[in-house]
Amino acid sequence: MSKYKYKIDQWLYYVQFPEDENLKNNKKRAVILEVMKNNSVYDYRIFIDGEGNVRKVKEEQLFSE
């Protein structure tokens, strides 16, 4: 079984600071572009819908739709 919860092309929600009570509900819709299996810091590369930004993120920042 893979240690990665999400797959390429899967839509989900990205939260930049999920541990911050004031910011954890600031969700942005995003899609997985890449599962970063060889990266020790980040788990995924995502595209943020509406912003057009591509960013590397950790799995704890992502939530299912």
Instruction: Give me the mean pLDDT over the 23-33 stretch.
Output: 95
Q: In the prediction, which pLDDT does 3 show?
A: 85
Contact, 47 vs 53, CB < 8 A?
yes
The predicted model scores a pTM of 0.90
Provide CATH code, domain 11-64: 2.30.30
% of the chain residues with pLDDT over 70: 97
Which among 62, 15, 8 has a CA at the least distance from the CA of 36? 8
Domain extents in the chain: 11-64
pLDDT band at 14 (very low <50, low <70, confident <90, very high): very high
Mean pLDDT of 17-25: 92
pLDDT of residue 1: 52
